[in-house]
Structure 1
Amino acid sequence: MRAHSGRRPGESGTREAILAAARRQFAELGYDRTSMRQVALEAGVDPTLVSHFHGTKQQLFLEVVELPFQPADVLPALLTGDRDDAGARLAHFAIGVFESEQGRSRVVSLVRAAASEPEAARLVRDLLTREVLTPIAEGIGSDDAAYRASLVMSQIVGLIMARYIVEVEPLASRDASVIADAIAPTLQRYLTGDLT
């Protein structure tokens, strides 16, 4: 009996299997080292189906990469409260996301891909800066909100690289709440402080 190739029979979850494999590989291997063929192999489908359902590798990446939260759901909580505590709220929220397995996987995937793929870098800028950080800076009444948001972004991306990707010690093993408390004053300065 010959092995079946091509489409799985019936409603088999082929698309979902491809997306799950792609999500995992982009997170663990980064954009450059993830291949359509390897995604197909892990999903247990013919490689042509990956292209059929999802187009190019770049299109597949854009389809599976997303923030581990909806900005509209979290912005009200991040904006509620004293303006002088905005850095602490953001620091504790961000660390909470990074410390969850799903959140860390998605954010690390985004940052790894952004380091090697221009379209991924644009996506990261749009997702984090335009949809989360600039609205926070604007919402607390900061002047030059876009610039301040980009400074906050530099701190957050640097933290992701150092703690979760490169695993610089003792930063990588330090308690999450200690890290959040340590970066909060820097985020606060970037959001509301004197930048001259």
Structure 2
Amino acid sequence: PPSLAPIQVVIVPIFKGEEQLAQIDEVAFEVQEKLKAKGISVKYDNRTDNKPGWKFAEYELKGVPIRIAMGARDLENKTVEIARRDNLTKETQPLENIENYIEELLRTIQKDIFDKALQFRDTHITKVDSYEEFKTVLEEKGGFIAAHWDGTAEEEEQIKNETKATIRCIPLNNDLEEGISLITGKPSKQRVIFAKAY
């Protein structure tokens, strides 16, 4: 995610010969400074010992959210190619106001990654109301299980011994709802999240 990435943007030049590199350097350093002025962590990788494709793979493995590729044709057209690591899309954007575009794109990527993770989590939580249903879901579906619990270590231990599932968390924003615990049948005010550790 951009908010955690040590390098948020990498600029990779695509060039033939020192003369082309020098021309790209001039524009790339300018873009780098504009991004830094926005508080964006950016690296311009103009090393000559590796080809651009090798650098693309390197920064993808490192998790850099945005890659900007800049070649001689881009300089002529006053554009850059922007690649997103989160969805592997590429697009061409004008150089003018690129810093504003990148700033907004980082926000979009952060939100998209969060929304995707939240949706994944929510679709992998199953509500159950009985111990039999709990065991069936655990064996057949897996994931997280939202179930009532009586609040005692004894019930949690029994569930753990019989199913290998333990309480993963007690959600802070849980809706309070009346229910009965899985084994003892005691009253419960809210559900907790159970899962097996793998």
Higher relative contact order (CA 8 A, sep 6+): 1
Is TM > 0.5 for Structure 1 vs Structure 2? no
TM-score (norm 1): 0.26
Q: Which has the higher strand share?
A: 2
Question: Which is helix-richer, 1 or 2?
Answer: 1
